[in-house]
A and B are shown apart, each in its own frame.
Chain A
Amino acid sequence: MLRTAGVVLWKDLKIELRTRDAVSAALVFAILVLVVFNFALGGNTPELRRLGSGFFWVAFAFSGTLALNRSSQLEKESGAGRALALAPIDPAGVYLGKFLANAAVLVATQIAVLPAFVIFFDVPLEVGRLGWLAASFVLGAIGFAGPGTLFSAVAANTRMRELMLPLLFIPVSVPALIAAVETTSFALGDPGSASFWFKLLIVYDVVIVTASLLVFEYALEE
């Protein structure tokens, strides 16, 4: 399984590094969403800073969906996914490879969006809480990519796959998104503790990735 995962991960990252399709589309879209929110609420207000992490994750959810759609499109184009289905390999390895590639693309998008977010929302970045910010980004991306990779394989076999994907997987990702918003808020200076949300995010990630690994085989069947 790990060998298959490594090969699929290598292939997806190689394609992304060559084309930069997923990251660039997600980045542009996320920045546009942040600009719209910034103008809607008026710049440099305490309200804007307080709600900033929520807007960040809303922008991420929209733009991340684009990246996941691109990932499933790779397998549909020219029937390449069928050649993958011919190989006597563990489908869980395919899931793991695609999930890791998707999570890497999503984290790269978050890092690229961060400067624009800091400027538009005037949020403080405290050195002491950067670890929390990094953890919320990585765990949030895992919580998003986990079901996203599974459902993008399901949606790929449907007639309106671009429409079906967010309808299928965003409801499942809501716990991860809420926990990520709360953890990011703490990382950006909110008083209180993020301990509960952080633990929830870890538990959610473990459960959703494990469950997706187990059922991915059925998602590949046409």
Chain B
Amino acid sequence: MTSVTALACEGLTKRFGRVAALRSVRLSVTTGECVTVFGRNGAGKSTFLQIAGSLIRSYEGHVRIFDQDLRHADVATRRAVGFVLHDTCLYNDLSVEDNLRFFARLYGVDNADARARDMLARVDLAHRASSVTRELSRGMKQRLSIARAMIHAPRVLLLDEPFTGLDEISSQSLATMLADFARDGGTVVMSTHDVERAYPVATRAVILERGSVTYDRPTAGTDLADFRRAYWNVLFAGAPTESAAPAGREH
């Protein structure tokens, strides 16, 4: 399968008042990649994903999805993106199945009812199909939220802290689902600070620090321990290697 650029950012800068959440971010993600963006709270991870997902529309620089500028993206391009936000983004008073049916119909999915049932089975919630969403545990809601984001078969999947609230089995199941999605030609970009769970899933790791990309390497060839060391160096020294740390920022 030929890889094409699914998501490309150039000079991406976003300011909230005087605070720069993103500073001239340059990142290119090809199909089949599973890119994990790590970083501390407030590093700019969620802002980056929200821009890529068209939830934030005022920014400097360019973001392209399948070579189409996001500011002028057509329906097909916007339809190519699925987004798991930090909030579950579900209607708590609808049943589990009705939530998926609603989003499937909203995206114009053919045979929405069957697709909803299929996605429920994939996230292991078929037995709770008629339950009211409010009654689900946080982990179950997170799985339902992932099913919601994938209901229209997107080509790019954005996930903001997807492992939040998931137990070990559900985390493993999500990791398998994401790996399968990428292997089938999909593109995954997720943000997290959960290194232990997210790094093994990723094909490429990016670290954002104060709105800038300070680390961007394939995971192949760098084991978890080495990456964890680099990540801690970024968190405590501002750079992945101690020699590259800015003066005065070592702890």
The answer to whether A and B come from one shared complex is: yes
Instruction: Spell out A's residues near B (CB within 8 Å).
Output: 3-4, 7-8, 10-11, 14-15, 18-19, 74, 77-80, 82-89, 221
Q: B103: which A residues are within 8 A, CB to CB?
A: 83, 87
Q: A4: which B residues are within 8 A, CB to CB?
A: 106
Are B93 and A83 interface neighbours, CB within 8 A? no
A170 CB, nearest partner CB in chain B, Å:
27
CB-CB nearest in chain A for B77: A88
Q: B108: which A residues are within 8 A, CB to CB?
A: 3
Check B148 for interface membership: any CB of A closer than 8 A. yes
Q: B148: which A residues are within 8 A, CB to CB?
A: 83
In the assembly, what is the distance between CA of A8 and CA of B102, in Å?
Answer: 8
Looking at the complex, which one of A14, A78, A88 makes contact with B87 (CB distance below 8 Å)?
A: A78
Known: A88-B78, A89-B106. A11 touches B94 (CB 8 A): yes
Q: A80: which B residues are within 8 A, CB to CB?
A: 89-91
Decide if the interface of chain B is mainly helix, strand, loop or mixed. loop
Instruction: Spell out B's residues near A (CB within 8 Å).
Output: 53-55, 57, 75, 78-79, 81, 83, 85-94, 98, 102-103, 105-108, 132, 148
In the assembly, what is the distance between CA of A121 and CA of B105, in Å?
Answer: 46
Across the A-B interface, give the 9 residue pairs with the lowest CB-CB distance, nearest first.
A79-B87, A83-B89, A88-B78, A88-B75, A7-B105, A15-B93, A79-B89, A11-B102, A78-B88
Are B85 and A79 interface neighbours, CB within 8 A? yes
In the assembly, what is the distance between CA of A142 and CA of B129, in Å?
Answer: 35
In the assembly, what is the distance between CA of A87 and CA of B107, in Å?
Answer: 7
Q: A85: which B residues are within 8 A, CB to CB?
A: 55
Decide if the interface of chain A is mainly helix, strand, loop or mixed. helix
Known: A3-B108, A10-B102. A86 touches B83 (CB 8 A): yes
B132 CB, nearest partner CB in chain A, Å:
8
Looking at the complex, which one of B53, B86, B87, B91 makes contact with A11 (CB distance below 8 Å)?
A: B91
CB-CB nearest in chain B for A11: B102
A-B contact pairs, 15 of them (CB 8 A): A3-B108, A7-B106, A77-B91, A78-B87, A78-B88, A78-B90, A79-B85, A79-B88, A80-B89, A82-B87, A85-B55, A86-B54, A86-B78, A87-B103, A89-B106
CB-CB nearest in chain A for B152: A87
In the assembly, what is the distance between CA of A84 and CA of B108, in Å?
Answer: 13
In the assembly, what is the distance between CA of A79 and CA of B132, in Å?
Answer: 17
Q: A8: which B residues are within 8 A, CB to CB?
A: 106
Are B98 and A14 interface neighbours, CB within 8 A? yes
For the A-B complex with A14-B98, A87-B107, A88-B79 known, give 15 more contacts whose Cβ atoms are closer than 8 Å.
A3-B105, A4-B106, A7-B102, A11-B91, A19-B93, A74-B93, A79-B88, A80-B90, A83-B85, A83-B103, A84-B106, A86-B81, A87-B78, A88-B75, A88-B107
In the assembly, what is the distance between CA of A85 and CA of B83, in Å?
Answer: 11
A47 CB, nearest partner CB in chain B, Å:
43
In the assembly, what is the distance between CA of A107 and CA of B71, in Å?
Answer: 41
CB-CB nearest in chain A for B73: A88
Q: B86: which A residues are within 8 A, CB to CB?
A: 79
In the assembly, what is the distance between CA of A154 and CA of B86, in Å?
Answer: 23
Q: B54: which A residues are within 8 A, CB to CB?
A: 86
In the assembly, what is the distance between CA of A86 and CA of B158, in Å?
Answer: 12
Residue from B53, B79, B87 having most chain A Cβ neighbours under 10 A: B87
B170 CB, nearest partner CB in chain A, Å:
19
